[in-house]
Every structure is written in C-alpha cells, then in structure tokens.
Amino acid sequence: MKQGVLISTVEHLLSSLYIFGIDNAVVELDNLEVPILDGSALEFVSEIQRVGLKQQAASRTYLVIRKELHLAERGKTISIYPAESFQICYSIDFDHPMIGKQTFEFDASPENFAREIAPARTFGFLHEVEELRKNGLVRGGSMDNAIVLTKTGILNDILRFKDEFVRHKILDNIGDLSLIGCPFIGRIVASKAGHALHTLLVSRILGDPANFELMPEWKAAEVAAG
C-alpha cells in the first residue's frame, strides 16, 4: 500500500502517547484504522490533556544513545547523536512552491509538542488522492483531514504554520521512534527521510547494544487516567 497519503495510520496516536510519557494505556478500536481526524494529533493531545495523567509506582527505563549512527538512502539521511535530552532536527526539500526547503528544531516536551507539532496536518498530492480513491484505498480522504497539494498550490484555505509540512514529518518521526518501546534520550538529525528510514533507524539502534544504555529511573511512571 502506498504510504503516507491520507491513509489513516497509528503513528499520530503513538506519537502523542509517547511524548506525554504514557506507557500504560489501553487503545480500543472498532475498525481496522485509527481515525485520521483532521490529519494531525491535535485531538489526541487535547483529549490526553482533558483526561489527565495518573502516576504509577513503577520504575521507567530510558534508552540513552551512546554512539553516533548514520543512515543514508538515495539522498535521504537520518542520524542519531548522544545528547542530554530528546531532540529532533528535521529538514525537507520538496520541489513545490508551497513547501520548498523547511527545517524545524524540536526540543521534546509535552508542552512543545502540543504547541509546535500536534497541530501539523498530514499532506498529500491531489493526483495521488484521486488515484487512491479510484483504488478504493481512501474513503473519507478530503481537505478535512489533510493538506491537499495541487501542482502549484494547496486546496485548503490556510496553513496552520508556514512550515506545517516539516512539523508533520516530526510528528510521524516520533510515532515511528515510539517503537523503541521506552523513552529516548538522544538527538536525531533527519533530512528528507520517511517512514522506511525512521523504522530502519530504530532497528539499527536496537540491533547493537553498544549503541545505547538502558537507564532505570526510579521515579513513578505516568499513565493515562480514566
């Protein structure tokens, strides 16, 4: 299946849970897909904030990066570096008048995520949407749940940020990183990467124990309440 275009996926939900430090939650679905909602993580975040978090008396383990790692594939790159906290510097370069070169530096915290990343919507090209619709892969796909790009502009009225596109890439990147399975301490630098490179990075990190150290933190973990 073609990836990343108007198809509802799990990464926006995982991304929100991960950044809020929720490592104990039950997710119930009544269909094959997580609802795409408006194409962003805004609603997941506002519901998490509304319901609140509950601390549990369990220790949490952090994965702390100890070694640099660089992956490259046809002009796309992703690297990790040891750092004091979880950071992502992401760049994209799309040959499109509404996008072009965009770089965003994200310093991970629930507050920064809610303000800078969660509202950024997924995006896709109109011709791809039409193709997907023809093949029955998109049912509800419309401007209500994505930024729809034409050859020269966008069909939606306004962008939420001038660099909404690169911010959304960070949202997806965090969702893929959540597959690590515990909080991550390190710096990611990515350029024109995507789902495939994100998940490859995760398996490379976990593939060699010399890349990281698991640090138990004897502090109560947080879970979603209610």
Give the residue numbers annotated as catalytic, written as ranges. Answer: 195
122 or 156: CB nearest Zn ion: 122
122 vs 211, which CB is nearer to Zn ion?
122
| Rounded least distance, CB 82 to Zn ion, Å | 28
Helix (H) or strand (E) holding 54: strand 53-56
Q: Which residue stretch of 111-119, 121-129, 155-163, 176-184 sits at the interface with Zn ion (rule: CB under 5 A)? A: 121-129
Instruction: Pick the closest to residue 186 from 13, 62, 91 (CA basis).
Output: 62
In angstroms, what is the minimal distance from the CB of 61 to Zn ion? 27
Contact status, residue 102 vs residue 163, Cβ threshold 8 Å: yes
Q: Which two tokens stand for residue 49?
A: 């904030």
H-only helix segments in 61-179: 110-112, 126-134, 164-177
C-alpha pair distances (Å), 33 with each of 1, 12, 80, 130: 14, 12, 31, 20
Cα separation, 56 vs 119, in Å, equals: 29
CB of 215 to Zn ion, least distance (A): 30
Query: 67 or 76, CB closer to Zn ion?
Result: 76
Of the residues 122, 145, 156, 173, which one makes contact with Zn ion according to CB under 5 A: 122
CB nearer to Zn ion: pick between 16 and 122: 122
Question: What track of x and - describes contact with Zn ion for positions 147 through 186 (by CB under 5 A)?
Answer: -------------------------x--------------
Neighbours of 213 (CB within 10 A): 14
Give least dist CB 173 to Zn ion, A.
9
**Is residue 116 a contact residue for Zn ion (CB under 5 A)?**
no
Size of the site for Zn ion (CB under 5 A): 2
CA separation (Å) from 152 to 59, 71, 98, 120, 155?
A: 51, 32, 7, 20, 10
**CB of 40: closest distance to Zn ion in angstroms?**
8
Query: Of the two residues 123 and 212, which places its CB atom closer to Zn ion in the complex?
Result: 123
Element (H, E) at 202: helix 195-207
CA 120 to CA 107: how far, in whole Å?
Answer: 16
Structure tokens at 13: 């939900």
- Residues forming the site for Zn ion (CB under 5 A): 122, 172
